[in-house]
Structure 1
Amino acid sequence: MNQLDLQNRRAVITGGGRGMGFAIAKRLLQSGASVALWDVDQDTLKTAKEALSPLGPVHTQIVDVSDYAAVEAAAKKVSSIFGGIDLLINSAGIAGVNTPLVDYPLQTWNAVMNVNLNGIFHTCRAIVPYMQENDFGRIVNIASVAGKEGNPNASAYSVSKAGVIGLTKSLGKELALTGIRVNVICPAVIKTEMLENVTEEQIGYMLAKIPQGRMGTVDEISAMVGWVCSDECSYSTGAVFDLSGGRATY
């Protein structure tokens, strides 16, 4: 594992209880950061804290990122505990359902937008002011190749991730003259628990488009996130980093 210097950095990781969020938390802790894990499942957070605490300071909170008031309160608490917030990694997300757009349930559509897109707007809106206090920050949003290409029968997911890319580019430009960098990572299929809600047919479709012919791993995405969170990532902002096994074409 390549060594990263994140000593004394204070991170908020949404969806931090499992999957990509958990792996990212582990990588940041191994690099010297303190982490606050936000998730909606108490048992998941408890298990994650027990596993990660030997590596460094871990704070956990039950936070629904679709609720701005909850996000604002949680950010205030993290800043109070850690003395500030330097890093924000938005990995919370839901897949929705795989079905044609004309049959897509309205309630599910709204839920996907509220978590995947509105949730990132909420966390950025609440946490950027803490970063501005020290004129330093790294925001890493997790989108998807689906947001660039559009996966059939996954309209809500694709649209929400396209929105994340647009939000990242907009905020990155807004903060370009500050010490805050805002970037987005677009993975193809990453092997996580989230795939439990995706049909085998949909997974097969996505794998068939990947030249390497396999899913990515959470360790691979956490390695990329770690670097984007570092001081070395200084000239990239509003940028899209692909992690697609060769699928991405632009």
Structure 2
Amino acid sequence: MKTVVITGADRGVGYALCERFLEGGWHVIAGQFMPDWPQLAALKEKHPKQLDVLPLDVGSTASVESAAAQTAKLCDHVDLLVSCAGIAGGDTYEKTRAIYNVNVLGAVRMVEHFLPLMQTGLKRLAFVSSEAGSVSVAHRDGGFAYTTSKTALNMLVRRMFRTLQPQGYTFRLYHPGWVRSYMSGQKSTIGNFEPEEAAETAYRQFTTDREAEDVLVMTDVSDELWPY
């Protein structure tokens, strides 16, 4: 049984990914940011042996360190790390710092602290990004914090790819489309896809090997390639 660690697993795409990986027979370690949100607890009752839920705030180094230590007690290695946690919001200096801390540095923390558990197995790193971070096709009006955080994430993944791909690591950079998710704090009623639809494509892309693993690409929910 392969093991996947998923951040931002409380709801939205992250939660839907947990469901899909469980259906696929994986051991899922779900990073829980909101202990009062009921979905992960209910999912744990359905999959008591296959799902482990750990407290995880990717914006906190101490929290990530603790989650990595607890994961090491649950399994001897991690096959796949999915960085799905992300926040959006206004463009004040304070909010921008918070967004970068989660969307960019959160991914850094996860890779730094979980990489020692990924020396064997599938050795795959997956990141949920967005078309909002693509400079060459930028079309959004107003707002800079979220969009530039995704641009920074894309460059971060590129730098990681250059360093880790020669060591046998493979990468997935995924744009889930306009999802009816919880980025505003409540589930959106507008969008093109439900979280489960975005998660279904992500699961297939994250778990399927590619012919050209030495090339980093950003793919979307329709299996199209995006410039990043």
Same fold (TM over 0.5): yes
Counterpart residue number, 1:242: 220
Q: 1:121 to 1:16 in 2, by over 3 A?
A: same
What is the aligned partner in structure 2 of residue 22 from structure 1?
15
Any conservation in 2 of the 1:169–1:239 contact (CA below 8 Å)? no
* Paired position in structure 2 for 1:129: 116
Match of 1:226 among 184, 198, 203: 203
Distance 1:87-1:30 versus aligned 2 partners, 3 A rule: same
Q: How does 1:38-57 map to 2 (within 5 A)?
A: 38-44=31-37, 46-55=38-47, 57=50
Match of 1:108 in 2: 95
**Partner residue in 2 for 1:207:** none
Structure-to-structure mapping, 1:47-86, within 5 angstroms = 47-55=39-47, 57-86=50-79
Q: Give the distance between the partners of 2:224 and 2:80, measured in 1 at CA.
A: 28
Tell me the CA shift for residue 196 of structure 1.
4.4
Q: CA deviation at 1:68?
A: 1.5
* Structure with more helix by fraction: 1
Bigger Cα displacement from structure 2, 227-236 vs 76-85? 227-236
Distance in 2, matches of 1:110 and 1:158, equals 13
Structure-2 change in CA distance of 1:185 and 1:231 (3 Å): closer
Deviation digits for residues 207-250 of structure 1 (CA, Å, limit 9, x no counterpart): xxxxxxx5122222212221233252463353211237989577
| Equivalent residues of 1:136, 1:178 under 8 A apart | no
Q: Secondary structure at the match of 2:165?
A: coil
Scaled by the length of structure 1, the TM-score of the pair is 0.79
Measured against aligned partners, the alpha-carbon deviations of 1:55-100 in whole angstroms (never above 9, x if no partner) come to 4511112211011122022112112112221111111111112xxx
SS in 1 for 2:166: coil
**Distance of 1:245 and 1:231 partners within structure 2:** 13
Tell me how far apart the structure 2 counterparts of residues 76 and 241 of structure 1 sit (CA, whole Å): 32
Change (3 A) 1:145 1:129: same
Cα distance per residue 1:119-147 (max 9 Å; x no partner): 01110111122112x16311110111100
Output the amino acid matched with 1:225. Answer: A
Change beyond 3 A, Cα 1:170–1:31: same
Residues 44 and 52 in structure 2, CA contact (< 8 A), matched pair in contact too: no
Give yes or no for contact 1:184–1:240 (8 Å, CA) kept in 2.
Answer: yes
Query: SS in structure 2 opposite 1:93?
Result: coil
The answer to whether the Cα contact below 8 Å between 1:137 and 1:179 also exists between their aligned partners in 2 is: yes
Contact 1:94/1:112 (<8 A) preserved: yes
Q: Which runs of 5 or more structure 2 residues have no equivalent in the other structure?
A: none
| Structure 2 partner of 1:147 | 133
Distance (Å, rounded) in 2 between the aligned partners of 1:231 and 1:199: 30
For the aligned residue pairs, the C-alpha RMSD in angstroms reads 2.6
Q: What is the deviation of 1:108?
A: 0.4
Relative to structure 1, the CA distance from residue 249 to residue 82 in structure 2 (aligned partners, 3 Å threshold; closer, same or farther) is closer
> CA 1:177–1:122 in structure 2 vs 1: closer, same or farther (change >3 Å)?
same
Partners of 1:113 and 1:160 within 8 A in 2: yes
Query: Which of 137, 152, 155 is residue 163 of structure 1 equivalent to?
Result: 152
Quote how far apart the aligned CAs of 1:18 are.
Answer: 0.6
Change (3 A) 1:171 1:84: same
| Structure 1, gaps ≥5 residues long | 1-7, 98-103, 204-213
Secondary structure at the residue paired with 2:183?
Answer: helix
**CA apart distance, 1:167:** 1.2
